[in-house]
Amino acid sequence: MKKLFSPWRSQYIEYFSKKKDEKDNCIFCEAYHDEDDERRFIITRGKNNFVVMNLYPYNSGHLMIVPYRHISTFNELTDDESLEIMSMIKKMISTLQAASNPDGFNIGSNLGRSAGAGIDRHIHFHIVPRWSGDTNFMPVLSDTKLISEDMKTTWRKLRSLL
């Protein structure tokens, strides 16, 4: 069996093994309250929500739109939050198209742990850019995903386009 070295994953595992039982701790709330957007990979902030890069992306440019309020269910979203989420999705699709010209997008949310939410205590919405041929043998045969661009490079590119 071949191994691919990915030390950044240890931070994810370590964080969730320590924090899974702490009800008051939330990586999205921590990012929102931190003023260092570059360190937290926050692309933009709105009135009710912010856009942040996924630290463990499916593809380069994988973004999440997160309400400032710590809520876990879709029905808790206010009309203002919902409207801004949709506006941010539209804006980020245009920005990602300008930055990296994807062929399509996956957009959605996993509502609840059983629906696949890795973080189920704070609702968030994913935007995943897709390119024809971006699925190859690596995820199928070796459960490995290749990310083609450094996250800081992607962050700078998206911020400069906004």
Supply the residues annotated as catalytic. Answer: 124
Comparing C-alpha atoms, which of 52, 20, 18, 16 is closest to residue 37? 52
- Helix/strand/coil for 62: coil
Whether 113 and 120 have beta carbons less than 8 Å apart is answered as yes
Classify 155 in phi/psi space as left (phi over 0), alpha (psi -120 to 50) or beta: alpha
CA distance between the termini of the chain: 44
Please tell me the distance from the alpha carbon of residue 64 to that of residue 57, in angstroms, as a whole number. 10
Give the residue carrying structure tokens 């690596």: 138
